[in-house]
């Protein structure tokens, strides 16, 4: 019998406030740890398929503007992930990536006419079902994202990365590894 980690309203609200996407909870280290613990306890796998039916139904019945916004974010966040992976952020990747997505969501609410034209072209190209090598607009996504971020956004990302690394180091200091554990 499969069990799910606790998904109380408080935890869901915190996740929504943190990233704006409940699905990001599936990448939360605490959630993953709870999942692994429950799987060990029950000797089975934790599955979300049935529990995700409402999410899928809501997504498919969403207003066209919302579906378009979701598709745009999906494309941009995929490109963002590829780009940020190359930054070699190590342990600060997830926090910095989450912060970058929040910044992008904010900017998408107030695009300039040229930015809006580019995102429209990106979505039009995506609908054409082209091969990745033929997606000329999408190939500009990283350049577009780098211009989308303001100087303050870049500072926010740098601060987020630094804070995540600092937290990791402090966590290590509080939970030292014994020499025997390294063998």
Are residues 147 and 91 located together in one domain of the fold? yes
Among 13-17, 35-39, 153-157, top mean pLDDT goes to: 153-157
Stated pTM of the model: 0.64
CB 35 within 8 A of CB 26: no
Are residues 136 and 183 located together in one domain of the fold? yes
User: How many CB atoms lie under 10 A from the CB of residue 71?
Assistant: 14
Q: Which residues contact 167 (CB under 8 A, 6 or more apart)?
A: none
User: How many CB atoms lie under 10 A from the CB of residue 30?
Assistant: 10
**Structural domain ending residue among the three candidates 61, 83, 104:** 61
Are residues 25 and 52 located together in one domain of the fold? yes
Domain of 135, in residue numbers: 64-183
User: Looking at the predicted structure, is the pLDDT value of residue 164 above 80?
Assistant: yes
- Residue 149: predicted pLDDT: 97
DSSP letter for each residue of 150-181: -HHHHHHHHHHHHHHHHHHHHHHHHSPPPGGG
pLDDT more than 90, % of the chain: 49
Q: Give tens-digit pLDDT for 73-91.
A: 999 999 999 999 999 999 9
Question: Which one, of 55, 84, 81, lies nearest residue 70 by Cα?
Answer: 55
The total of structural domains in the chain comes to: 2
Q: Give tens-digit pLDDT for 96-119.
A: 999 999 999 999 999 999 999 999
Q: Give tens-digit pLDDT for 24-70.
A: 766 667 766 776 676 666 655 555 555 555 655 665 566 778 788 88
Question: Which one, of 126, 91, 104, 140, lies nearest residue 21 by Cα?
Answer: 104
């Amino acid at each position: 019998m499969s069990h799910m980690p606790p998904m109380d309203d408080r935890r869901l609200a915190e996740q929504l406030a943190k990233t704006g996407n409940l699905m990001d909870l599936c990448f939360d280290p605490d959630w993953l740890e709870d999942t692994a613990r429950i799987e060990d306890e029950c000797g089975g796998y934790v599955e979300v398929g049935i529990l995700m039916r409402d999410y899928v139904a809501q997504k498919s019945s969403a207003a066209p503007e919302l579906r378009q916004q979701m598709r745009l974010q999906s494309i941009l966040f995929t490109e963002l992930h590829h780009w940020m992976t190359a930054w070699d952020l190590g342990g600060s990747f997830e926090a910095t990536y989450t912060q970058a997505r929040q910044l992008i969501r904010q900017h998408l609410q107030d695009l300039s006419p040229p930015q809006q034209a580019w995102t429209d072209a990106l979505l039009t190209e995506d609908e054409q079902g082209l091969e990745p090598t033929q997606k000329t607009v999408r190939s500009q996504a990283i350049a577009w994202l780098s211009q989308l971020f303001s100087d303050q956004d870049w500072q926010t990302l740098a601060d987020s990365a630094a804070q995540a690394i600092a937290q990791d180091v402090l966590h290590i200091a509080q939970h030292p590894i014994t020499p025997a554990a390294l063998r």
